[in-house]
């Protein structure tokens, strides 16, 4: 994730600090999908999906179990960013990225709760389960392969599950994604997946926006009282 110089301590933004920091991340990319999820939750909270193309779903899939897929991709889109590159990996950068993802996750949880409150059926636990593990997978995918692929594991999970037969196992594809009830064990596993994906996204191991200066080089420059030589980074468009 490439963040402006604000996060390196060289530039100070205007306005409340959390909002200034969030503007340096890709959180604006998440707005359309979050708004879409809100609209679907308000308008179709009691809806069911009984057919997708030529495939008939038996039993029908509740809409509120699918809404977390939209929110998971929205959260992963926060991995994109503005065009200014970061010159060093530091605590400010990690904190800003974590703040971005945390903000979208809180908004997503609020959308899920809204849909569950409006729905007549109790689907909150299942929606939270899907939100957690789908978000974890989408975040890790965006961090490792780019946001252009963040949707792929989510769509693959739903497509693959449509081709399986419903069963009573909590750990089958059907039981862990389509079932509209969730067990405590499922929620724990989903939470672990979410934390793992979040950790990968916050660390951002494959970001090309960092100049990983050798410790000795940076330390030697500091000892001499001069700044280390930093190669020029061209300002390019946000990575996909």
Q: Say whether pTM exceeds 0.95.
A: no
Spatial separation of the C-alpha atoms in residues 93 and 227, rounded to whole Å: 20
Task: Let me know if residue 5 belongs to a domain.
Answer: no
Contact status, residue 119 vs residue 46, Cβ threshold 8 Å: yes
What integer pLDDT is reported at residue 64 of this predicted model? Answer: 92
Contact status, residue 189 vs residue 133, Cβ threshold 8 Å: yes
Task: Give the total number of structural domains in the chain.
Answer: 1
Task: Let me know if residue 111 belongs to a domain.
Answer: yes
What integer pLDDT is reported at residue 134 of this predicted model? Answer: 96
Task: Let me know if residue 172 belongs to a domain.
Answer: yes
Q: Which of 188, 156, 185, 187 is nearest to 173 (CA)?
A: 156
- 3-state helix, strand, coil split of the chain in percent (to 5) is 60, 5, 35
Task: Let me know if residue 229 belongs to a domain.
Answer: no
| pLDDT tens over the chain, length 240 residues | 444 545 544 444 455 666 677 766 778 889 999 999 999 999 998 888 888 877 777 788 899 999 999 999 999 988 765 445 555 667 777 888 888 898 999 999 999 999 989 987 789 999 999 999 999 999 999 989 888 899 999 999 999 998 888 888 889 999 999 998 999 999 999 999 999 999 999 888 877 666 544 444 444 444 444 444 444 444 444 444
Q: Cα separations (Å) of 4 from 23, 44, 85, 140, 212?
A: 10, 40, 6, 23, 17
Task: Let me know if residue 236 belongs to a domain.
Answer: no
Which structure tokens are listed for 106?
A: 């809180």
What integer pLDDT is reported at residue 112 of this predicted model? Answer: 93
Task: Let me know if residue 97 belongs to a domain.
Answer: no
Helix count and strand count (H, E) for the chain: 9, 2
Q: Which residues are registered as beta bridge partners of 51?
A: 56
Q: Which residues are registered as beta bridge partners of 55?
A: 52
Domain holding 125, by residue range, is: 30-79+106-203
Which structure tokens are listed for 123?
A: 């689907």
Helices (H), 14-151: 17-23, 31-43, 63-77, 91-118, 124-145
Task: Let me know if residue 173 belongs to a domain.
Answer: yes
Task: Let me know if residue 218 belongs to a domain.
Answer: no
């Amino acid at each position: 994730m490439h963040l402006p110089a604000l996060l390196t301590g060289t530039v100070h933004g205007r306005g409340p600090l959390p909002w200034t920091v969030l503007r340096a991340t890709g959180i604006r990319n998440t707005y359309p999908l979050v708004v879409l999820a809100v609209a679907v939750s308000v308008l179709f909270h009691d809806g069911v999906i009984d057919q997708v193309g030529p495939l008939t779903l038996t039993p029908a899939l509740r809409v509120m179990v699918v809404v977390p897929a939209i929110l998971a991709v929205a959260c992963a889109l926060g991995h994109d960013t503005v065009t200014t590159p970061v010159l060093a990996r530091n605590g400010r950068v990690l904190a800003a990225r974590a703040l971005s993802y945390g903000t979208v996750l809180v908004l997503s949880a609020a959308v899920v709760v809204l849909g569950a409150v409006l729905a007549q059926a109790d689907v909150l636990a299942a929606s939270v389960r899907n939100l957690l593990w789908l978000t974890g997978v989408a975040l890790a995918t965006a961090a490792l392969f780019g946001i252009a692929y963040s949707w792929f594991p989510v769509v693959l999970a739903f497509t693959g599950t449509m081709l399986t037969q419903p069963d009573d196992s909590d750990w089958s594809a059907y039981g862990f994604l389509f079932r509209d009830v969730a067990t405590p064990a499922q929620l724990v596993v989903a939470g672990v997946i979410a934390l793992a994906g979040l950790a990968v996204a916050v660390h951002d191991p494959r970001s090309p926006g960092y100049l990983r200066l050798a410790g000795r080089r940076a330390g030697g420059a500091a000892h001499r009282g001069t700044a280390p030589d930093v190669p020029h980074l061209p300002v390019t468009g946000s990575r996909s």
